Structure 1
Amino acid sequence: MSALVRLTATETKLFFREPMAVFFALAFPPVLLVILGSIPSMRQADPALGGARGIDLYAPILIAMAITMFAISGLPQQFTTYREKGALRRMRTTPVKPVVLLGAQLLMATILSAATTAVVLAVGRLAFDVRLPQQPLGYLVGYALAALAMFAIGLLVAALAPTGKSAGAIGTVLFFPILFFAGLWVPREAMGAVLRRISDLTPLGAGVQALRDAALGHWPQPLHLAVMLGWTIVAGGLAGRYFRWE
């Protein structure tokens, strides 16, 4: 545990030395929320969105974005780079095994993405009257499963990518369709029936809807919880099967 804490602190310091990574992972989701909330139409009920306000719909989407930034943009590239440079191989000869470094990366990403989530919720509530989750336990369950599913996908990318650059490229290719089906460009409420059904079967589409349901005071739908759990099991199992330390 002591080694995990020290490595987590070290990885966090290294992360904060990359200003662009810090901005896009931590600051961009709240900044984008402020930009969207500054548009008058986003603060008005929209019949095309089922009477909801656009800003209410985008809060969980931006939380999902924060998770995705760490899960498939940061974690795979960093860990694959360590493997490429032989750092993981050298760690295997020390008392601190490479799995501890993996745990430190996951712990750092979890803590920082949770902090971004708290900022998005606070800004939404204080600046734009976005309601806080009315079903806190359901919100926590939905958030945890969305994070687990995305981190499992990120670990699968790290398992399959041969180099840090290729991991970054794969993460970029995955980033846009995953967030599209989460509703970043077209909110789920404005999607057609076919697109929404596809979205229901994606990890972040299911995650965003689970967060949205919990925000309104409802327990997340079993379908969405099952989808996120399924992605976690399948992607995590494949990552464990193909993961290489060197």
Structure 2
Amino acid sequence: MSKILLVEARLHLRDGASLLFTIALPLMLLVFLGRAAGPAFPALMVMLSVLTLSFTVLPTVLATYRHQGVLRRMSTTPVSPLRVLAVQLLINLVVAVVSTGLLMAFGPGLPRNLPGFLLVFVLGTAALMAMGLVIAALAPNGKAAPTIGSAVMFPLMFVSGMWVPREYLPEVVRVIGDYSVAGPFARALGDTWVGQAPHLPHLLVLAVGLVVSGALAVRVFRWE
């Protein structure tokens, strides 16, 4: 397991594009726009990093491995494909944590409700990565995976209020956002960042999203 983790980590570090969009871009946006964008803006940058990892980076790697037969070949060795899946989830989680840590270090400081923020971060990240696993299962190859992922990610960014403040969105869009996983994730991150407690309905949507997406990913995921 440790050898697989080391190899996959090195491959991830060589992917400059993914590091740019998951770590550097949110940090640069925070540094240049943070003060003008409001106190909860760092939370939106955390979400941007998690969304990018969940809907482009993770699905692309796994879909590529499946299309190239890597997972099938591993199934005939003591190194099971399940370990590769676990390693990819762990690496992307570590990247999300590193990105969040840098946003805290170079931003206005720690979330005012740190325990609540950590709860929301773990639950929301798990739910979004489970959705990413579904995309990885449905994508025919590694080239199609980021296209499919982006087609899901950008509407989620819109309905969650990342592009336009939620109060300016039409009522139907706000309702969709309330049940989109991304919407409650964004609002709960923002609430805890400014010191509020996460609202129970937001946590419930994240939990349901994790269970449903996780179950669907297990059902449809293909090793070859």
1:21 to 2:29 alignment: no
- Which residue matches 1:156? 134
When normalised by structure 2's length, the TM-score is 0.94
Runs of 4+ with deviation above 6 angstroms:
none
- Which residue matches 2:119? 141
Q: What is the aligned counterpart of 2:207 among 229, 236, 241?
A: 229
Residues 58 and 184, structure 1, Cα contact 8 Å, conserved in 2: no
| Superposed CA offset, 1:16-47 (max 9, x none) | 21222221111110011122137xxx1xxxxx
CA 1:82–1:227: 2 relative to 1, 3 Å: same
- Which residue matches 2:5? 8
Amino acid at match of 2:44: I
Bigger CA radius of gyration: 1
1:167 to 2:148 alignment: no
Q: What is the aligned counterpart of 1:83 among 66, 79, 84?
A: 66
- Which residue matches 2:216? 238
1:213 to 2:191 alignment: yes
| Superposed CA offset, 1:66-87 (max 9, x none) | 0011111001111011011111
- Which residue matches 1:178? 156
The two structures, once aligned, show a CA RMSD in angstroms of: 1.5
| Superposed CA offset, 1:37-70 (max 9, x none) | 37xxx1xxxxxxxxxxx23232111100100111
Residues 40 and 194, structure 2, Cα contact 8 Å, conserved in 1: no
| Secondary structure of the structure 2 residue equivalent to 1:185 | coil
| Superposed CA offset, 1:158-198 (max 9, x none) | 11112112212101111211111232211335445443332
The 10-residue stretch of structure 1 (105-114 or 226-235) with the greater mean CA deviation from structure 2? 226-235
Residues 191 and 198, structure 2, Cα contact 8 Å, conserved in 1: yes
- Which residue matches 1:34? 31
1:63 to 2:60 alignment: no
Residues 112 and 192, structure 2, Cα contact 8 Å, conserved in 1: yes
Aligned pair count? 224
